[in-house]
Amino acid sequence: MYEPVASRLGTANLLNCLDGVLSLIEQFNKVPTPDPKGIELLEQVKDLVAVTTSLDDLATSERRNCSARLKSLSAADLVHLNRICSSTAELTQECPDFLDPLKSSLEVLLHERDTDAASFTSSEDLLGEQAWYDETYKALKLRTEVLQVLLAAINVLQYKNDTDDDGNLSAEARSFSTTLPYRIALVNPKLHNAPAHSITSLQNAISAATAIRLHVPAASLNKHFDVGRSVKSFYTGRETEMATLKAAFDDSTYSGQKRFVIYGLGGSGKTELALKYAEDSQHDYWGVFFVDGSSRKSATGSYSEIAKTGGVEPNEKAAKNWLATRDLPWLLIIDNVDDDKVRLEELLPPGTKGCILVTSRNPAHISYGTVGDMALELLPMDKDEANVLILRAANEPSPWTQSLSDSASVICRALGFLPLALVHAGKAIMSGLCAWGEYLTFYDKQTRLIRRARRDKSRSRSAKRFQEDEDGMNVFSSYEIIYQSLEVSQEQRFQDAVELLHVFSYFHFQNIRLDILIRAATNPLKEAREMKKQSEADEEVQKRISKSKSKSWSSWFRELAVRGVRYLDTSPPLPSALKNPSGISEKHFEEEVDVRLRRALVVLVARSLVMKQDRISGRYSMHPLVHKWIRDRPEMSTAQQALWCQVAKTTLAGSILIPPLGDTDEERSMRRELLPHIMHARERHEMIEKTLQDNRTARKGIWPVAVMGFGRLEANEAARFSRVYSECGIFEEAERLQSRVRKFVIRLLGEEHPLSIKLTLLLAGTLYELTRVSEATQLQRRIFNVCMEFLSYDDPLTLMVMDKLGAALCFIGRWAESLSLHENAVNGMRKIYGAGHENTLKAICNMGRVHYRYLNYEEASKLHREAWDGMKKRLGETHFETLICLEELAVSQIRMGKEYLEECHEMMKFVLDRRRENLGKEQPYTLLAICNLGRVKSAMGRHEEAARIMKEAVAIAERNLGESHFGVLAGKTHYAQVLVNLGQHEDAERIFKVVINKPQYRKSTDEDGEHPDRVVAMWYLIGCLGKQGKSEQALRVCDKMVVSLGNIGGQGRGKTHKLASMLEQEIAILRAKIRTGASVEDEDHQWVTW
């Protein structure tokens, strides 16, 4: 039931109190020179009197004659009215708490002035000197403004149903409806700055008024809305970003000018998001205006239009001042502030009023944000939103079929989810230029056509055709403008930026590292320094070896020819920033390169042509569409593409050091990250070469078509790239590249040249990883014979080949020959290098492997520990080679007793952790460490844990390397043995029978030999069958193993191995069991391992 307003406002008492205070202030100001603070206070009290009088008039009117408007309010309306009246009464009762002390203070001041008139000829600054003045003034002002809010809220309720003759809201109703949110917006920031102990009643009042604003539909506050164009009808998504934007401008705690920056890639929809916000929030702003910030001239023109709206002089300064003096809320969009010549601070209106939304490619502008998150990076769209956008842009009626959605997804992914590109694709499909499944082909064809047309210098092409070209390239128009602005500039940083842009377009578009470029520049100096150092070391070594053999005349002439070619060769193509024409020192050159690259990258990042992946690590990326556009610009000829692709490949190759340099964990990690860049650059190179070949073939003439060869530049690249492929486990491609390089070098320098020998060793190592062990061994035997023919027996290179050959022979079971080679290599290396040199330590480790295969575990462990201790001192405990020595030591100690197992476990855990960190989770050496850790766990009795990790590792290895890879077969063997320990004999037996299938080892043995891994798998199978009581089956496997063991090492040497005698004992036991009919498990089977 309606209760009269009059009985609940309490305005009469407040007016009585105000009358006394007002009289005292007027009396205080009656002096020749009034106190400015006194005038200020008088105006404030008058404002309070005015709003209180308005409230009192409303109360008096209601008391005399209840208003029909208020009587007609609904029950819900009355709930809100009661809250407003309660808040009003609370404030009117609270105001005397400030007015009474003010009255007393004024009376004291007036008394002092009257009793000592000579001292008070002027009241100037008197109030300002009083300690209580500022707090009292602010408290009265804030309560006055809140009472004005409450009065506006009552009027909103009172006139909510008031209409004119046409049935629309009356002018009064619209006025009150727009005034309420404005007054709330003005008061909210002041509440946050007020003392917390005195604002509870004020907060309650604003809460009650805000509830009315939400309860009663508001009339639009907006009077001016000029943003140039409307939002596209198929605008889609960006809901999270819109919420961020709204939250920023809804922030009522900030009392200054509210600014927010949207930045990001061109075509990402920055302008569209800004316009969408303006459209959605139009009714919250008295005025919404737009400034084109793409150039200083455009901005001035936009401000002139705003000035006309404001009725002031049509110039930028007048427009800014007009905005700065508007009390009603306004929004200004400053769009496309991308140009370096346009300073954003010069485009901002002065003062603390208004909301400003800036869009820019330049992330440096985020510093101008003042509210919320300050700025928002607009990234490519979410894949689902992108799908909806392209389908709506193509005007496809919903619901969409799965086939249509799938086609849209393919296009979205190819276009990098960039809104502008998606809209153009949708329009092309809608206009019938192509079908959904044909768009990407159409897009590539269109790009090629435009490129050819742009390079056509004839003037016969019509304006219409040029316009068609422009329409087709419209998605890239903003990028083209930016690119051309960089290209025409003579500044070094802009020229460097253009070159980097071209180079990056042939890298992979993600994870472009700054240090890759720096290494490409400085590595040649490091390699030259190392070459000089190595040459000096070689001279010292030559003094400690027997007289070396003289070079043949053919070798001498070849080297002379190569020197001549090198002298005449041009330097490899690199970006200007990476060249060192002045020959400055390595340190100073690296500093100069770093500065030049960073300056160029700042230019590219400021234009969103390149994006920082994070703020610290020096990693950058490009949007896939920009990445493609740079390569396929209409002005780019195929020859230019070939040039920049070669520059990119040379840069990548230059960042890879030639061994033995680049052997740190950090550099290995860097090289693994190069793989996507190398693969992309080589893929693009092949496509360009095909295009060039097609172009040559298409030319009619009598001259033969030139074919690109494989020269020093290509060989250098291939050798360096092969290092990356090998370290990433892509051994097939590494082998292909190394084979080509080796053939080229042998043809150029001869097979006996040290470089040819080292390349042969490198290739043999890769063949070994491919399980083509027989080929690898044949290569090593051949190169060993070459060394013996052309070099001395104790030459460092001969000793290295000797050691490598010994390792290969050990793997295929030729242990006697292997041990002899290793012993000679270790003795020779100790003589010329010393015991602590890494080459010596590697040879010692390899010799330990042979003793391990002979089941001499103590001797193997001793040698591996010596190698590990030395490697730790020489290379550090996490170095790749150090970890190999540690792994060999751990494995060799497994059979030495339980007291060693805890140490073995710690060793293998350390190896595995470092390899996961440095090589990756699925790299073959990491998987090997997992299996060896599993073997240790099983030896400790932790069989289930061992089986779990080994099963996963074996599955990954089989997937990546193939089921017949020797590493996979060995892993299965040891995994099956763990299953035996778990009692899962049938599963283990099934695996063993697969593993011992002989054809799988054909590539890993000599023609007259047997592979040791197959023999040990047979031994394990015998034990597995024995544990199941299958003695007859076990005996049949024993018979086969006798033959196989005799073939290990060739010439029947396997019969002298320790395992041969163990096998004889096993056969005797099995025959006895068969003879007696016993079916008990074989508890005496010795579980050897190698």
Is residue 825 over pLDDT 90?
yes
What residue has token string 């485009």? 347
Q: What is the pLDDT of residue 1007?
A: 60
For residue 923, what are the contacts with CB-CB under 8 A and spacing of at least 6?
Answer: 728, 729, 915
Kindly state the greatest CA–CA separation across the chain: 140
Mean pLDDT of 493-508: 95
Q: What is the pLDDT of residue 525?
A: 92
Q: What is the pLDDT of residue 165?
A: 59
The rounded Cα 710 to chain-centroid distance in angstroms is 36
* C-alpha to C-alpha distances, 401 to 212, 391, 408, 415, 438, nearest whole angstrom: 46, 11, 11, 21, 17
CATH of domain 224-378: 3.40.50.300
Mean pLDDT, the chain, whole residue set: 85
Is residue 76 over pLDDT 70?
yes
Higher-scoring residue by pLDDT: 337, 167: 337
Q: What is the pLDDT of residue 768?
A: 87
pLDDT tens readout for residues 526-558: 988 988 888 887 777 777 776 655 555 455 445
Q: What is the pLDDT of residue 306?
A: 92
Q: What is the pLDDT of residue 742?
A: 94
Higher-scoring residue by pLDDT: 848, 918: 848
Mean pLDDT of 229-247: 87
Q: What is the pLDDT of residue 872?
A: 95
Is residue 140 over pLDDT 60?
yes
Mean pLDDT of 182-190: 79
Judged by average pLDDT, the poorest of 266-280, 493-507, 601-615, 798-812 is 601-615
What residue has token string 């109703």? 173
Q: What is the pLDDT of residue 122?
A: 52
Percentage of the chain lying above the pLDDT 70 cut: 87
* The pair of three-digit structure tokens given for residue 1008, joined into one six-digit string: 């007259």
**Which residue, among 724, 725, 663, has the nearest Cα to 882 in the 3D structure?**
663
Is residue 708 over pLDDT 80?
no
Is residue 722 over pLDDT 60?
yes
Is residue 1082 over pLDDT 60?
no
CB 395, CB 430: distance < 8 Å: yes
Q: What is the pLDDT of residue 821?
A: 95
Is residue 1024 over pLDDT 80?
yes
Mean pLDDT of 1062-1086: 75
* The pair of three-digit structure tokens given for residue 1044, joined into one six-digit string: 């196989």
Residue ranges per structural domain of the chain = 5-215, 224-378, 383-454+467-472
What residue has token string 């153009």? 424
pLDDT tens readout for residues 908-950: 999 999 999 888 899 899 999 999 999 999 999 999 999 999 9
pLDDT tens readout for residues 723-772: 999 988 889 999 999 999 999 999 988 898 889 999 999 999 999 888 88
Mean pLDDT of 608-626: 82
The Cα–Cα gap between 795 and 777 comes to: 21
pLDDT tens readout for residues 972-1015: 999 999 999 999 999 999 999 999 988 888 777 766 567 889 99
Backbone angles phi, psi at 355, to 5 degrees: -120, 135
Judged by average pLDDT, the poorest of 96-100, 183-187, 893-897, 1056-1060 is 183-187
Q: What is the pLDDT of residue 217?
A: 63
The Cα–Cα gap between 576 and 596 comes to: 10
Q: What is the pLDDT of residue 838?
A: 93
Label residue 463 by pLDDT band (50, 70, 90).
Answer: very low
Label residue 470 by pLDDT band (50, 70, 90).
Answer: very low
pLDDT tens readout for residues 401-427: 999 999 999 999 888 888 888 888 888
What residue has token string 């498990």? 1081
Mean pLDDT of 786-813: 90
The strands making up 619-621's β-sheet, listed across from edge to edge, are 512-513, 619-621, 611-612
Q: What is the pLDDT of residue 468?
A: 45
Mean pLDDT of 792-811: 91
Judged by average pLDDT, the poorest of 171-180, 449-458, 1011-1020 is 449-458
* The pair of three-digit structure tokens given for residue 42, joined into one six-digit string: 């008088």
Q: 0.85 exceeded by the pTM?
A: no
CB 715, CB 723: distance < 8 Å: no
The Cα–Cα gap between 418 and 386 comes to: 8
Q: What is the pLDDT of residue 492?
A: 93
**Which residue, among 558, 568, 555, has the nearest Cα to 790 in the 3D structure?**
555
The Cα–Cα gap between 807 and 508 comes to: 38
- Other beta carbons within 10 angstroms of residue 853's beta carbon come to 22
Mean pLDDT of 27-55: 85
CB-neighbour burial class of residue 769 (10 A; exposed 0-12, middle 13-18, buried 19+) = buried
For residue 242, what are the contacts with CB-CB under 8 A and spacing of at least 6?
Answer: 273, 276, 277, 280
The rounded Cα 76 to chain-centroid distance in angstroms is 54
Q: Is 330 helix (H, G, I), strand (E, B) or coil?
A: strand
* C-alpha to C-alpha distances, 1007 to 73, 733, 814, 1055, nearest whole angstrom: 105, 27, 12, 18
Is residue 567 over pLDDT 50?
no
330-335/224-225 β-pairing: unpaired
Peptide bond into 660 cis (omega under 30): yes
Neighbour-count burial for 40-63, b at 16+ CB within 10 Å, e otherwise:
ebbebbebbbebbebbbebbbebe
Percentage of the chain lying above the pLDDT 90 cut: 39
Backbone angles phi, psi at 156, to 5 degrees: -60, -45
Higher-scoring residue by pLDDT: 260, 659: 260
For residue 20, what are the contacts with CB-CB under 8 A and spacing of at least 6?
Answer: 103
For residue 361, what are the contacts with CB-CB under 8 A and spacing of at least 6?
Answer: 263, 264, 265, 266, 338, 606, 607, 608
